[in-house]
């Protein structure tokens, strides 16, 4: 299992072997190993990595005091983001190691996790793709939700009913995407297909699980 954190830069087209690929470009890494968790220590084999290095002055402004102390105890520079990855062999890592985008190679399959674009409070037609009412003249029902209740018994609206509400800003994982190109020098990785979130959104890239 390999993993790295990155920021989505946007989409473009890459040409390879005479074919055009619509890819998402991600600025990935470098990530620093901040903590090791082991099975012998009563937990599980995993590493905690930090992403986006901060100056000590900036860290004191935006991080909590326990997090600042955590970085100081590990003797690594403070980072904006912390993320945990389960690993197969914990002995391959030590605190302070740097993980760069070069851990992935072209043609490799990855799972990408991010948060979808937040669209705020949305109606039922936009949120759930409902048909709505007639658009013709004389119709008095256009974009409303419609009937949601029951008859006299049980005389309530069932929990989980598709209704207007918060749309987007949900954690999404797109599985089995293909790495088209890795630019280790500039810390860039091009992934075939679309991934969740807007430009600048945080992404977690891991080895595909299936």
Tell me what pLDDT residue 146 has: 84
> Of 121, 82, 113, whose CA–CA distance to 197 is shortest?
113
Contact 181, 23 (CB under 8 A): yes
Q: What is the CATH number of the domain that holds 170?
A: 2.40.30.10
178 lies in a domain? yes
User: How many other CB atoms are found less than 10 A from the CB of residue 20?
Assistant: 9
153 lies in a domain? no
- Give this prediction's pTM: 0.83
Q: Percentage of the chain with pLDDT > 90?
A: 50
> Of 60, 163, 179, 162, whose CA–CA distance to 111 is shortest?
179
Q: Find tokens 């390999």 and name the residue.
A: 2
| HEC readout, the chain | CCEEEEEEEEEEEEEECCEEEEEEEEEECCEEEEEEECCCCCCCCEEEEEEEECCHHHHHHHCCHHHHHHHHHHCCCCEEEEEEEECCCHHHCCCCCEECHHHCCCCCEEEEEEECCCCCEECHHHHHCCCCCCCCCCCCCCCCCCCCCCCCCCCCCCCCCCCCEECCCCEEEEEEEEEEEEECCCCEEEEECCCCCCCCCEEEEEECCC
The tokens for 38 are 């082991």
pLDDT in tens, 183-194: 989 999 999 988
166 lies in a domain? yes
Q: How far apart are CA 175 and CA 193, in angstroms?
A: 11
pLDDT in tens, 160-183: 899 999 999 999 999 999 999 999
Distance of CA 136 to the CA centre of its chain: 43
Tell me what pLDDT residue 97 has: 87
Q: How confident is the model at residue 17 (pLDDT cuts 50, 70, 90)?
A: confident
pLDDT in tens, 72-131: 888 889 999 999 988 878 888 888 889 899 889 998 999 999 999 999 999 999 999 999
Q: What average pLDDT does range 4-8 have in this prediction?
A: 93
Domain count, the chain: 1
146 lies in a domain? no
Beta strand pairing status for 165-166 and 171-183?
unpaired
**Of 10-14, 96-100, 132-136, 150-154, which gets the smallest average pLDDT?**
150-154
Q: How confident is the model at residue 140 (pLDDT cuts 50, 70, 90)?
A: confident
Is residue 210's pLDDT more than 80? no
Is residue 42's pLDDT more than 80? no
Domain range for 203: 3-133+160-207
């Amino acid at each position: 299992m390999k993993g790295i954190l990155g920021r989505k830069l946007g989409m473009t087209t890459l040409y390879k072997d005479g074919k055009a690929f619509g890819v998402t470009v991600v600025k990935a890494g470098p990530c620093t190993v901040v903590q090791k968790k082991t099975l012998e220590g009563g937990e599980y084999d995993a590493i905690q990595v930090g992403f986006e290095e901060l100056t000590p002055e900036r860290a004191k402004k935006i991080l909590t005091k326990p997090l600042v102390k955590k970085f100081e105890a590990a003797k690594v520079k403070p980072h904006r983001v912390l993320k945990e990855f389960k690993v197969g062999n914990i002995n391959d890592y030590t605190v302070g190691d740097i993980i760069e985008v070069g851990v992935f190679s072209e043609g490799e399959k990855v799972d990408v996790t991010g948060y979808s674009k937040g669209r705020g409070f949305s109606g039922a037609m936009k949120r759930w793709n409902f048909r709505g009412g007639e658009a013709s003249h004389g119709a008095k029902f256009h974009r409303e939700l419609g009937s949601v209740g029951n008859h006299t018994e049980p005389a309530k609206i069932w929990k989980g009913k598709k209704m207007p509400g918060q749309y987007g800003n949900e954690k999404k994982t797109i599985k089995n995407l293909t790495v088209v190109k890795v630019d280790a020098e500039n810390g860039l990785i091009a992934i075939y297909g679309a991934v969740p979130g807007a430009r600048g959104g945080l992404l977690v890239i891991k080895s595909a699980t299936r």
